Structure 1
Amino acid sequence: MAKTDGHIDKTIGNPLSWAAHVIDAGSHHLGEGARETMGRDTAPIVLRKIGTQDLRAALRAGYEDFKAFRSDVIFLCVVYPLAGLVLIRFAMNETLLPLLVPLLTGFALLGPVAAVGLYEMSRRREAGGHPSWAAAFKVAEAPSAIAILTLGLLFLAIFVVWMLAAWIIYAVTLGPEPPVSAAAFISDTLTTTPGWAMIVVGTGVGFVLAASVLVIGLISFPLLLDRHVGVRRAVRASARLARENPRTVAIWGAVVALGLGLGMATLLIGLIFALPILGHATWHLYRRAVEPAKPQDTPQA
């Protein structure tokens, strides 16, 4: 655009200069994203001691957010169970049948990623705003978007590891051939020694991965939304909070597992209610666990 005599004349720029502008803008955004991923805030992350009273308070606050956003979060969270049902339908063929239960349980490993938009809605409401479901997508415009994406890819990698582990466990116990039918698979699983070995080993591996997700994701996503701390410091702070409050974090993990389990027991429909309440509650648990950031440390959306 050129400005002459107080008027703005719209002109088509040289294609080379336009391409250079796009590349320059892209480089700028990538550079900003890289700085956010590494972390620009060097101020200490001060953690508080949390107890069961904090869990109760966080759940109450999460429920209040759910009531305030009810239609919006139901609209948002319906995508999660629908995606799960599509994956379940895909896994119902005989070849993939052994992965059905791991798929159901492993799907919960992505819960912290799916709840990022809910954290943002709670953050905005806490600041005095009246956000709608559209606010959840504002995360993509946040300075920490690439850092959040990076951490999300870590959770996706854990999910993939779990699915691969589940298939290997099946292959060395009841496999490697696929089951001839669903009835035969259930019978072999519950009435044979290899079937029980698959259950025991699979439960153990699943517990380790679920505990890892709990420790890594306890406050890391809310922290990235709230501060310029970078992925590494966010994960370390989350792990430190779990280490310093093992009993409380274990109880929180049980609450999350129970909520998601009840949601899955209703063919994933219950997740429409469980996921937003737990997601909003996670934001409020973060607020109770971490000292407030200084104004200059808070990202602007």
Structure 2
Amino acid sequence: MSQPDSAENPTARGEALLAGGRPDEAVAAFTAALALRPKDSAAWRGLGKAQLDLGDQNAAKISFARALAIVPYDRYAAHMLASLSGPADVQATGYVADLFDTYADDFDAHLTGDLNYRIPQAIRALLAERAPFASLLDLGCGTGLVGAALSDLVATIHGIDIAPRMTRKAHERGLYRHLRTGDLLDSIANDPALVGPYDLVTAADVFVYLGPLEAIFAATATLLVPQGLLVFSVETTAGDAPVLRSSGRFAHPAAYIARLADQFGFTLDVTQSRPIRQERDQPIPGALYLLTRN
């Protein structure tokens, strides 16, 4: 027997509307759910996502805070609230590590199959004519897809990732001399095995989880040799500052990347527009950048 007055139906309808790219209607559905059940954390989360898709960050921040107050261990809500609240360390919420550890065993098949992820191959194509390389630091190495794509172009590969099960998978490839699990900046600053210098640093689909990139650009500049290369992918957006999306990832405008390159002593050599992956059966617009340290 159907229950048209239950909160579950409008919450599910809101999620379906979000997936269909109709956030304005999703707001109405989640609002209806909350009228029936004000402490429905899933509805508060959904409302925050819909508000963020509509560009209302202040309202989204309130909604994610309400969801977190109801379920204090909701790491997605904690991640979104931290990301919307200022320059706090969003990695400290544990959301990103949990996200990737949850499906580490199926990560490669899901990413390269279901999501049509081809960034490691695009990085290889970008670097093939510049090879060989003596050393690579693979930031956010995950299961080692970039290491595998570049293994015959690089003599020594080191990697860092925040998710323990992901680095365990990367270790199984046998391609990395040093693999570390932890925060990127902490690892670069404190691990003597990762001091470099490197002639290549990669970050494939990593900066999307960091938001502001000033600190990682500054750290990378200290690791690279003169004329060393930084190659990375981002999701793209208009404007001049990173933008948080309801996916929990950030998009970075071209103007922002150009400003960071100039600020931290890089020459922007290549900007290659390309889809990053599929989401909700649609390609996510992105870009692949190659920068040279001056």
Q: TM-score range by the shorter chain?
A: under 0.3
Q: Computing the radius of gyration over CA atoms, which structure comes out larger, 1 or 2?
A: 1
The higher-RCO structure (CA 8 Å, 6+ apart) is 1
Which structure carries more helix by proportion? 1
Pick the structure with more strand per residue: 2
Q: TM-score, normalised by structure 2?
A: 0.23
> TM-score scaled to structure 1, two decimals?
0.22
